[in-house]
Chain A
Amino acid sequence: MTATLLSIRGLTKAYPGVVANDSVSFDIQQGEVHALLGENGAGKSTLVKMIYGLVKPDSGTMTWRGAEFAPPEPRAARASGVAMVFQHFSLFDALNVAENVALGMENPPPMRDLAAQIRSVSENYGLPLDPDRIVGDLSAGERQRVEIIRCLLQDPKLLIMDEPTSVLTPQEVEILFRTLNKLKSEGTAILYISHKLEEIRTLCDHATILRLGKNVGTCIPSETTAREMAELMVGDTLHTPTRTATEDGAPVLRINDLSLSSANPFGTRLKNISFTVHAGEILGIGGVAGNGQDELLAALSGEATSDTNTITVNDAPVGHLGPNERRALGILAAPEERLGHAAAPDMSLTENALLTGALRQKLTKNGFVNWNATRAFAERIIKAFDVRTPGPDTAARALSGGNLQKFVIGREVLQNPKVLVVNQPTWGVDAAAAASIRQALLDLAATGAAIVVISQDLDELMEIADHFGALNEGRMSEIHPALGLTIDEIGLMMGGADETEGAAA
């Protein structure tokens, strides 16, 4: 049965200065998995927000099972049977699973009944989750399950999922896909937003591709190659980074038995981490979010200091040094969180250029800032990394994620680091920007820098890393050459056997 569940005709939404959606039309059938593909800023979020009643369209119509559908607010959309799992979870760390689920419901049943319902739904759909556990202790994958179960308890007809696999291990992705297929077989339609083309090819029945707010094509993913879909998305041919052949350089960065507790009470303790990165090498570090990535970056950038000899660069011990002392030695870093960590949101790009560039770019003299030189440095970053912005006086928060990320990475790369550590360099960045960031990292490695790329995007790591390791609960797996690793081997490195399933059984 393929009755049309939701039909979208000519949906348009304009914001000051930008048309987010320009007469987008497509249909979602009952019981299909429909992919929504597009670069960042293509208008996917706006589109699903209109379906979910968060944003009101300027023009165009939606029909839900033949009847007009214009939800004035999310509650109305939920009442019709639309549920949404957001990319960023809205959960309270200090509450348990059942309490968090109750907070998102219109009329939550008594807690004991709810816990029972959560158990039964989680068993039915193969999403292991204990309702009594505190959310602060859960992995990102388990947190996502909380959100999914919260939706499933409302018995949705249409489930919208915004980049659900970005935080999952390959094994967790498999579990999620099994769940989604089961939902599909029960007649639930799923609107699936993702950058990851291979996933869409395995999971989705139809795909609608958005570019700059317009619907530029539809396809049947299983019959289309990832490359064709990517080209539809980007509009021109993708520039695939080429792996630079690296010879064995001298060891530059050495980590010797680094153990460090996290500054964050919900953080992960680093346990006995040791590895070496050579000149010209890119070490890719995979792992599911929350397994010590932030802590490792802090330990390498100098935000968290450790024992003197646990970290050495060119045989000089640096473990006890702070961020600027390490910058002086050529150790630079770009943290994951762009706004508030890598950059100050309300400060201009010029000021943000000063944030890490002051020392190596000699932007200060006797403590006084040379603003002209700083501005020139910011302009250099903007030019070299094609940051789309009106100018260096723009506040960082006014930039899109991809453009700010290009700025943040560019700021470090242009300082000629000897060691560069980046965390999630292309998270939430569109394909074209991601490709140019990766190319910049490869070019930097070719000049002899030692690079550590921490990322949850395995495709990315496979593309640029020479060597691969994974973090799991603050421990580092063995480091292997990236060439020839299979996805199963990587999965094992990232988490051993499928622990989450075992834990709930």
Chain B
Amino acid sequence: MIILEKRPEPSRLLSISTPVFAVIVTMIAGGLLFAALGKNPVEAIRTIFWDPLFGEYAFYYRPQLLVKGAPLVLIAIGLSLGFRAGIWNIGAEGQYIMGAICGAAAGLAFYPSESILIFPLMVIAGALGGWAWAMIPALLKVRFGTNEILVSLMLVYVAEQLLASMSLGLLKNPQGFGFPGSRNIAEWNAANSWIAQDYGMHWGVVAALIAVIMAYVLLNRHILGFNIRLTGEARRAARFAGVNPTRLILFCLGTSGMLAGLAGLFEVSGPSGQVSIDFNVGYGFTAIIVAFLGRLHPVGILLAGLLMALTYIGGDIAESQMGLPSSAIQVFQGMLLFFLLALDLLTNFRVKFASKGTA
């Protein structure tokens, strides 16, 4: 019989190494899945993990890693602050959309100005848009005690409707021959977020790195970060330590909304280029996986974001080259979170094999 015994202290070694184990186990289980679908498992895994980095066309895929990784990391950093404190913002996707809409709208209002103030203005508007969208569940929670998980999640669908309405109405490109979608912001010098498009560098990458560093400093050096961790670990102790739960909820939801909004703004003014109906591709939801895969630790999230971006890109390649169904790729990505959470147990528990009866 297998018994789980609680460790007196969480194992540091395992807490660092379980994500690696999770990736390996996912590769094995994913391989079995691909084999069951009649594909060569070794080739599939190699296509997903190796080809984007070192394959023949890696020069094309490597910049994609930054493009896809940056919004994931930026959003996940924000989410991780709340998750650490037990505040669950599930609606980053909606905040991401609102950031894009607000940022793009603020910029497009001055089209075709080439003022250097345009882009900073859009950044501020994008951050505010995401922040404001996240403040809805935050205020409802502190005022009426609503569940932030449900409210933030439902607001994603509201934001999606708004996105469609904006693409077809207010923000529609007047010179777009009636096609839905805004003007192409990426082609507008004063407003695009690219630094070096050939390398996948845009301001979102910079913002993600800054967010990682700031979050690290906040959690490890600042009393506010300490209070966030304390609230997550022992709510009563946090109350005793003088943490104001209301302020903490507003801060965590507000910050995560702001970062998601920024991610949306950088995306709309760079890689995506325009506000369109299908602008959002699920970064806000995937970032939840990234946050947990990275153990809610800033550096872990950075690595997890890159890994997740890799499976996205590799998954696309596997889809087009090997004909793997996209649902199989999604299952594969889901497995990663599943195994991570399952192996997570080992950090706090020791597995013992014992003969029956001693329990």
Contacts and interface: CB of A to CB of B under 8 A. Distances in A.
A binds B: yes
Contacts of B28: none
B214 to A, nearest CB: 13
Contacts of A346: 10, 233
B9 interface: yes
A159 to B, nearest CB: 24
B248 to A, nearest CB: 13
A344 B237 contact: yes
Interface string A345-389: 111000100111010000010011101000000000000000000
A261 interface: no
B242 A340 contact: no
B242 A322 contact: yes
Contact of B240 (A301, A354, A369): A301
B223 A369 contact: yes
A355 B230 contact: yes
A358 to B, nearest CB: 6
Interface size grouping (class) on chain A: 35 or more
Contact of B223 (A341, A345, A367, A395): A367
A149 to B, nearest CB: 27
Q: Which of B221, B222, B226, B357 has the most CB of A within 10 A?
A: B226
Q: Which of A301, A345, A367 has the most CB of B within 10 A?
A: A367
Contact of A72 (B9, B226, B358): B358
Contacts of B9: 394-395, 397-398
Interface residues of B, number: 23
B348 to A, nearest CB: 9
Contacts of B226: 351, 354, 369
B178 interface: no
Contacts of B237: 340-344, 355
Interface string B234-269: 101111111010000000000000000000000000
A340 B234 contact: yes
Given A355-B241, A356-B241, A394-B9, A344 B223 contact: no
A364 B223 contact: yes
A251 B352 CA distance: 59
B140 interface: no
A34 interface: no
A282 B49 CA distance: 68
Contacts of A73: 357, 359
Contacts of B239: 303, 323
A395 B244 contact: no
Contacts of B223: 354, 358, 364, 367-369
Contacts of B238: 344
B222 A341 contact: no
A401 interface: no
B240 A356 contact: yes
A302 B8 contact: no
Nearest to A325: B242
B357 A341 contact: no
Q: Which of B9, B241, B244, B358 has the most CB of A within 10 A?
A: B241
Given A72-B357, A346-B10, A364-B223, A341 B242 contact: no
Interface of B: 8-10, 221-224, 226, 229-230, 233-234, 236-242, 244, 357-359
28 contacts: A56-B358, A73-B357, A323-B240, A323-B241, A327-B242, A333-B240, A335-B236, A339-B234, A340-B234, A341-B234, A344-B233, A344-B234, A344-B238, A347-B233, A351-B230, A354-B223, A355-B230, A355-B240, A358-B241, A367-B223, A369-B221, A369-B226, A371-B221, A394-B9, A395-B8, A397-B8, A398-B8, A398-B9
Q: Nearest 3 A-B pairs (CB), nearest first? A: A324-B242, A323-B242, A72-B357
Given A345-B233, A368-B221, 8 more contacts: A303-B240, A323-B242, A335-B240, A344-B234, A347-B229, A368-B223, A395-B9, A395-B10
